[in-house]
Structure 1
Amino acid sequence: MNHHDDDRLDFLPWLFEAEATEEQRAAQRERQRLLTAAGTAEIGERCYVSARAAVHPDRLRLGEGSYVAAHAYLTGTLTTGADCTFNPFTTVRGTVTLGEAVRIGAHTSLLGFNHSTAPERRIHQQATTSRGITIGDDVWIGSQVVILDGVTIGDHCVIGAGAVVTRDVPDWAMVGGNPARFIRDRRDRDGKRRSAAGGGGREERLTRFADTARAQAPGILERAWDGAAYRDRPGAEPTVRAHCDAIEIADLLLDAAPAQLPAERHVALLRALQDPATGLVPEKGGPLPAPDPDGFVDDGAALYHILSVGYALDLLGGSFEHPVRAVGGLSAARLLERLANQPWDERAWHAGSWVDAVATAAHWNLTLGTEPAGPGALEALFGWLLTRADPRTGMWGGTRPDQGKLQLVNGYYRLTRGSFAQFGVPVPHPERVIDTVLDHARDPRWFGPGRDNACYVLDVAHPLWLAGRQSTHRAEEIRRWAGAQLDRTLELWHPGQGFGFGPTPEGGGPGRAPGLQGTEMWLAIVWLLADLTGQADLLGYRPRGVHRPDPARTGPAAWAPRR
Structure 2
Amino acid sequence: MAVFDYSPWRFWADADEAQRSRQLELQARLNARPGCEIGGDCFVSELASVDNEELRLGPRSYIAAGAYLTGKLRAGRDCTINPYAVVRGDITLGDAVRIGAHTSLLAFDHTFTDPDVEIFRQPLTSRGIRVGTDVWIGSHVVILDGVTVGDRSVIAAGAVVTKDVPGGAVVGGNPARVLKWRVPPTATPPPGARVTGDLAGAVAAFADTARAQAERILDRCFVPASGLFVDRPGQAPTVRAQCDAVEIADLLLRRAPDQLPASDQIARLTMWQDPATGMVGALRPDGSRHTPEPGLFDAAARYHVLCAGYALDLLGAAFDHPVRVVADATADRIVAGLESQPWTTNAWSAGDWVDVLGTAIHWNRRLGEPGRPGATEALFGWLLAHADPRTGVWGSPRPEDGLLQVVNGFYRASRGTFAQFGLPVPYPERVVDTVLAHAADPRVVRPDRQNACNILDIAHPLWLTRHTGHREEETVRLARGLLADALGHWTDARGFGFRAPHPAASGDPATGPGLQGTEMWLAIVWLLADLVGVADSLGYRPRGVHRPEPAAQPSQSWPAPSRKLSGGPR
TM range, normalised to the smaller chain?
Answer: 0.5 to 0.7
How far the C-alpha of 1:315 sits from its partner, in A, is 0.3
* 2:408 matches 1:405: no
* 2-structure distance, mates of 1:473, 1:396: 20
* 2:440 matches 1:437: no
CA 1:419–1:475 in 2, change beyond 3 Å: closer, same or farther?
same
* 2:481 matches 1:500: no
* 2-structure distance, mates of 1:434, 1:360: 24
2:293 paired residue number: 290
How far the C-alpha of 1:347 sits from its partner, in A, is 0.9
Query: For the Cα contact (< 8 Å) 1:107–1:144, is it kept in 2?
Result: yes
What is the one-letter code of the residue matched to 1:451? R
How far the C-alpha of 1:503 sits from its partner, in A, is 6.0
Matched position secondary structure for 1:465: helix
1:466 paired residue number: 464
How far the C-alpha of 1:343 sits from its partner, in A, is 1.1
* 1-structure distance, mates of 2:488, 2:308: 30
* 2-structure distance, mates of 1:410, 1:269: 31
How far the C-alpha of 1:204 sits from its partner, in A, is 1.7
How far the C-alpha of 1:201 sits from its partner, in A, is 2.3
* 1-structure distance, mates of 2:184, 2:519: 32
**Structure 1: 5+ residue stretches without partners:** 1-105, 109-122, 124-141, 146-159, 167-174, 184-190
* 1-structure distance, mates of 2:394, 2:293: 27
* 1-structure distance, mates of 2:273, 2:234: 26
1:513 paired residue number: 512
How far the C-alpha of 1:443 sits from its partner, in A, is 0.4
Equivalent residue in structure 1 for 2:474, among 451, 473, 477: 477
1:541 paired residue number: 540
Aligned length, in residue pairs: 386
2:172 paired residue number: none
Larger radius of gyration: 1
1:361 paired residue number: 360
* 1-structure distance, mates of 2:275, 2:149: 48
* 2-structure distance, mates of 1:161, 1:262: 43
1:241-262 Cα shifts (integer Å, max 9, x gaps): 0000000000111011100111
CA 1:214–1:280 in 2, change beyond 3 Å: closer, same or farther?
same
* 2-structure distance, mates of 1:218, 1:235: 19
1:314-372 Cα shifts (integer Å, max 9, x gaps): 0001111111000000001111111122111111111110010011001111111112x
* 2:434 matches 1:447: no
What TM-score do you get using the length of structure 2 for normalisation? 0.63
What pairs with 1:232-381 in structure 2 (closer than 5 Å)? 232-285=231-284, 286-291=289-294, 295-297=295-297, 300-371=299-370, 373-381=371-379
What is the one-letter code of the residue matched to 1:491? G
2:382 paired residue number: 384
Query: For the Cα contact (< 8 Å) 1:370–1:562, is it kept in 2?
Result: no
What TM-score do you get using the length of structure 1 for normalisation? 0.64
CA RMSD of aligned residues (A): 3.1
* 1-structure distance, mates of 2:512, 2:149: 37
* 1-structure distance, mates of 2:308, 2:205: 31
What is the one-letter code of the residue matched to 2:481? A
How far the C-alpha of 1:290 sits from its partner, in A, is 3.4
How far the C-alpha of 1:203 sits from its partner, in A, is 1.8
* 1-structure distance, mates of 2:78, 2:426: 35
* 2:361 matches 1:395: no
What pairs with 1:544-559 in structure 2 (closer than 5 Å)? 544-554=543-553, 556-558=554-556
What pairs with 1:519-530 in structure 2 (closer than 5 Å)? 519-530=518-529
What is the one-letter code of the residue matched to 1:490? L
What is the one-letter code of the residue matched to 1:467? T
Matched position secondary structure for 1:511: helix
How far the C-alpha of 1:199 sits from its partner, in A, is 3.0
What is the one-letter code of the residue matched to 2:305? I
What is the one-letter code of the residue matched to 1:296? L
1:416 paired residue number: 414
**Structure 2: 5+ residue stretches without partners:** 1-38, 42-53, 62-75, 80-91, 95-131, 136-147, 153-182, 187-193, 561-570
What is the one-letter code of the residue matched to 2:219? E
How far the C-alpha of 1:478 sits from its partner, in A, is 0.7
How far the C-alpha of 1:380 sits from its partner, in A, is 1.4
* 1-structure distance, mates of 2:305, 2:509: 20
What is the one-letter code of the residue matched to 1:477? E
1:150-183 Cα shifts (integer Å, max 9, x gaps): xxxxxxxxxx9559999xxxxxxxx956999888
Query: For the Cα contact (< 8 Å) 1:182–1:535, is it kept in 2?
Result: no
What is the one-letter code of the residue matched to 1:232? D
How far the C-alpha of 1:296 sits from its partner, in A, is 2.3
What is the one-letter code of the residue matched to 1:283? A
Bigger relative contact order (CA 8 A; separation at least 6): 2
How far the C-alpha of 1:274 sits from its partner, in A, is 0.8
2:221 paired residue number: 224
Matched position secondary structure for 1:251: helix
Q: Which moved more, 1:198-207 or 1:249-258?
A: 198-207
What is the one-letter code of the residue matched to 1:273? W
